[in-house]
Amino acid sequence: MNRTSERSTRPSSGGKPPARGMLAPSFTLLRVRGIRIGAHWSWLVVFSLISMSLARDVFPFTYPGLSGRTYLVMAVISCLAFFVCILLHELGHAFQALKEGMKISDITLWLFGGVARFEGRFPSAGAEFRIAAAGPLVSVILAGLLALSTWGGARAGLPLQVGGVLDYLARINIAVVIFNLIPALPLDGGRILRSFLWNRRKDFTAATISAARIARMFAILLMLVGVFWIAVDSAVTGIWSIVMGWFLLQAAQAEKSNALVRRTFENLTVRHLMTRDLVMFRSDTTVEEMLNLVQARPHSVYPVVDDGSLKGMVSLRVASAVAADRRAHTRVLDIMSEPLVVDGSSSVEDVIELIQVSPGRAAVLEDGRVAGILSISDVVRTLESRQGLQGVTRKRKGPGWRLVLGGLALLLPVVATLYKPPVAIISPAPAVDVTGDVEIDGVPLTELNGRYLLVAVHISRPNALRAAASYFNDEVSMVPLTQVLPPGISQDEYLLGQRRVFEESQKAAAAAAAQAAGLDVTISGTGAEVVDVVQDSPSDGQMRVGDVVVAVDGTPINLVSDLVGFTTVRPAGTTFEMTVQRGDRTLTVPLTSARLEGFNPTSTGVGIITTTRNLDVSLPFEVTFTDRNIGGPSAGLIYALMIADLLDAEDVAQNRRIAASGTIQLDGMVGAVGGLKEKRLAAGEAGVDVFLVPESELEDVNLADGESDVPTIGVDDLEDALGALNGRA
């Protein structure tokens, strides 16, 4: 039996309005103006999933360079604050409902956000509109305040971690508003639509049927999008979309059923449905006497009445369960239960939910005496007979093509929001001050008289809507996904490989700086170990992760730089004889190089990502780097400059804020990195005095941002970079 509108349940972010008791809070958090605030067990699952996603993916990609513990703290705080925002959204509904004269049962946080349960029907179409609009209005205000705090905090110098949390909360509140305003019952947008139709047609049931029809259409489209998503990209996202669609479908049907029940029982009182002509027993009647008397007129329960006063209800099932040898000595008083009592003049709508739960029936009193019993079977029988006779007439207000157009209008934003095309957005990331990241022992050092800033980019995979908007944003670049994530390599594999490359670039920076200072450095390795093989590249199917290239065309390969020197400087189409150690075997693998469009920057190669096996950089000092959650080789140049400044007797920084981006080889050569347009913008935001980039990319960055006021210098190697900073260029 569906619930009636006597208790309306309004999920904030989708889902079937749960039957009474299904969302009873597993634990109570607090009470606000007498409203119990609780959390369902599923809320803990969502809390954990969101926290994990923020700590592992969102924040590390958006704000690189922070520690894992910092990301975890940011994630937990963000998740807690997000649910506080959901709670405030629900309180917006609840407080407005109180103003409209309705009663609030409780607010529960659960799998799909929050549920505010209010008792009684909506007083009017206007009241439903105001109650439905109150929640999104609260979320809009929160989003505005958080966005303003993010903007002001950035200019006031608030820590990056605080700004990141505020920015996330502003964006997630906007998402809550957008989703909840979708015109699908029981979402806020669906209730707003129903209030409009209700006011226009003056018929609540007809308005509900129309709004539920649109909600069902949206739910089906959402599930179809989920199937599409599973087929083309992410099973997890697709399954979530299907589950959301299914819940919305069930919720829309529940809203429609409740409205039909309301129409069916309109103007009917309990006395119209109750069972009369009852068999009643005194409390001192024995069970044996009772069972003998009811054989001809068996019912499930019987009233227990003494001197015209109702004392309780006795169940035939309970009475029959009494042992035969005890029935003569057991009284009805001993086995009767507390009665559920309703008045005969009460509206059927107002009592249906009361008898939906155990015991499933109520004693009906008129003038203080038992007049009958109302049971679920009475309600169902009446419902079926009246709806069978009356039917439900649905008047079409327009041709079916309007529904088709409406479906397409709903499908377009859903697809644009959920579908992620195979592109990546490269945007400026906040500059990271790495001046104190290095500790050196064993040689004399000079004090740094300036700041060294690492500039990086934030790489994200947008949905179609954001990708379209980014097309018109000059501060970001949109590139094929394969340019930042080579085909056939998972995100986790890519990040792990980039992390290893970053750590190797730190060693190379220390070695290059030491050699620039005239110190003896010994560098050795035992080959180039394969950490990833690019799909559809010359190495795909030929090389494996764990292979070690120890020679090319008979020339020994000790370091990655040795391999790069062979494969990247010769034209595409060159065939190399690779001597490869694979486990206990040594084999020869012929590979023909090709243009690797999936790499940034585009280069010639054979399609393997390698690191030096057993890399040993013997320095005349001990060096320790602060742990940074950063990947890739582009920080090599800035670290090399900073270490060289520490080792150099001259003042290299000269009280300047210096930014740089470029790879560094063990011999001090500087290589291209890409993303310099966005990095230059980040350098400008950080107020740097000079920005050093690879000479090979200087023309590109000037063409991309010729009006920038950040002095940008191209360098070929570390010696050039130091000369430029010391005025020798």
pLDDT in tens, 146-171: 999 988 887 787 888 888 889 889 98
User: Is the pLDDT assigned to residue 99 strictly greater than 60?
Assistant: yes
pTM, to two decimals? 0.50
Q: ω before 359 within 30° of 0 (cis)?
A: yes
CA 719/CA 523 separation, integer angstroms: 19
Domain boundary residue, one of 264, 283, 315: 264
In order of 5, 7, 621, the CA distances from 253 in angstroms are 13, 16, 73
Average pLDDT of span 524-528: 89
Over 579-595, what HEC string results? Answer: EEEECCEEEEEEEECEE
Whether residue 394 is contained in a domain is answered as: no
Q: ω before 601 within 30° of 0 (cis)?
A: yes
Are 643 and 627 part of one and the same domain?
yes
Query: What is the pLDDT, as a whole number, of residue 54?
Result: 84
DSSP per residue, 601-612: S-EEE-SEEEEE
Place of tokens 């226009």: 200
Whether residue 69 is contained in a domain is answered as: yes
The 10 Å CB-count burial string (b at 16+, else e) for 403-416 is: eeeeeeebbeebbe
User: Is the pLDDT assigned to residue 579 strictly greater than 90?
Assistant: yes
Are 621 and 718 part of one and the same domain?
yes
User: Is the pLDDT assigned to residue 639 strictly greater than 80?
Assistant: yes
111, two tokens: 């799998």
Whether residue 407 is contained in a domain is answered as: no
Query: What is the pLDDT, as a whole number, of residue 586?
Result: 92
Domain boundary residue, one of 264, 289, 315: 264
Enzyme catalytic residues: 90
Q: Tell me, what CATH number does 435's domain have? A: 3.30.230.10
User: What is the share, in percent, of the chain residues with pLDDT greater than 70?
Assistant: 79
Q: How buried is residue 618: exposed, middle or buried, by Cβ count under 10 Å (0-12/13-18/19+)?
A: exposed
> Of 231-245, 270-284, 369-383, 691-705, which one has max mean pLDDT?
270-284
> Helix, strand or coil for residue 433?
strand
| Nearest partner of 495 among 630, 663, 675, judged by Cα | 630
Query: What is the pLDDT, as a whole number, of residue 145?
Result: 93
Per the model's pLDDT, the better-predicted residue between 397 and 478 turns out to be 478
Query: What is the pLDDT, as a whole number, of residue 111?
Result: 61
Range of the domain at 300: 270-382
CA atoms within 13 A of residue 562's CA, in its CB half-sphere: 24
pLDDT band with cut points at 50, 70 and 90 for residue 599: very low
Query: What is the pLDDT, as a whole number, of residue 414?
Result: 60
DSSP per residue, 141-181: HHHHHHHHHHHHHHHHT--HHHHHHHHHHHHHHHHHHHHHT
Q: Tell me, what CATH number does 608's domain have? A: 2.30.42.10
Chain Cα centroid distance, residue 201: 39
The type of residue at 95 is F
8 A C-beta contact, residue 650 and residue 450:
no
Q: What is the DSSP letter of 572?
A: T
Could you read off the pLDDT of 183-227 as tens digits, one per residue? 877 788 888 888 888 888 888 777 888 888 888 887 787 787 777
> Of 127-141, 623-637, 660-674, which one has max mean pLDDT?
127-141
CA atoms within 13 A of residue 649's CA, in its CB half-sphere: 1
The type of residue at 625 is F
Whether residue 403 is contained in a domain is answered as: no
User: Is the pLDDT assigned to residue 729 strictly greater than 60?
Assistant: no
Are 152 and 226 part of one and the same domain?
yes
Average model confidence (pLDDT) for the chain?
Answer: 78
pLDDT band with cut points at 50, 70 and 90 for residue 602: very low
| Nearest partner of 283 among 257, 311, 258, judged by Cα | 311
From 340-354, 362-376, 543-557, the region with the lowest mean pLDDT: 340-354
Are 595 and 621 part of one and the same domain?
no
pLDDT band with cut points at 50, 70 and 90 for residue 417: low
Whether residue 479 is contained in a domain is answered as: yes
Domain boundary residue, one of 614, 647, 669: 614
Could you read off the pLDDT of 361-396 as tens digits, one per residue? 778 888 778 888 877 676 777 666 665 544 444 444
Are 31 and 170 part of one and the same domain?
yes
Are 564 and 699 part of one and the same domain?
no
User: Is the pLDDT assigned to residue 653 strictly greater than 50?
Assistant: yes
User: Is the pLDDT assigned to residue 500 strictly greater than 70?
Assistant: yes
CA 298/CA 292 separation, integer angstroms: 10
Are 221 and 140 part of one and the same domain?
yes
Query: What is the pLDDT, as a whole number, of residue 588?
Result: 92
From 232-236, 457-461, 555-559, 594-598, the region with the lowest mean pLDDT: 232-236
8 A C-beta contact, residue 45 and residue 26:
no
From 137-141, 267-271, 314-318, 548-552, the region with the lowest mean pLDDT: 267-271
Query: What is the pLDDT, as a whole number, of residue 577?
Result: 92
Are 281 and 250 part of one and the same domain?
no
Query: What is the pLDDT, as a whole number, of residue 468?
Result: 75
Are 139 and 232 part of one and the same domain?
yes
User: What is the share, in percent, of the chain residues with pLDDT greater than 90?
Assistant: 8
407, two tokens: 């479906």
Q: Tell me, what CATH number does 325's domain have? A: 3.10.580.10
Number of domains in the chain: 4
Whether residue 548 is contained in a domain is answered as: yes
Per the model's pLDDT, the better-predicted residue between 488 and 168 turns out to be 168
The 10 Å CB-count burial string (b at 16+, else e) for 171-196 is: ebbbebbebbbbbbbbbbbbbbbbbb
Query: What is the pLDDT, as a whole number, of residue 208?
Result: 82
Task: Give the angle subtended at the CA of 208 by the CAs of 206 and 209, to the nearest 5°.
Answer: 65
Per the model's pLDDT, the better-predicted residue between 26 and 500 turns out to be 500
Are 219 and 339 part of one and the same domain?
no
pLDDT band with cut points at 50, 70 and 90 for residue 313: confident
Query: What is the pLDDT, as a whole number, of residue 277?
Result: 75
Q: At what angle do helices 204-232 and 400-418 cross, to 10 degrees?
A: 40
Whether residue 398 is contained in a domain is answered as: no
Query: What is the pLDDT, as a whole number, of residue 13?
Result: 36
Are 601 and 640 part of one and the same domain?
no
Whether residue 550 is contained in a domain is answered as: yes
Are 444 and 356 part of one and the same domain?
no
User: Is the pLDDT assigned to residue 252 strictly greater than 70?
Assistant: yes
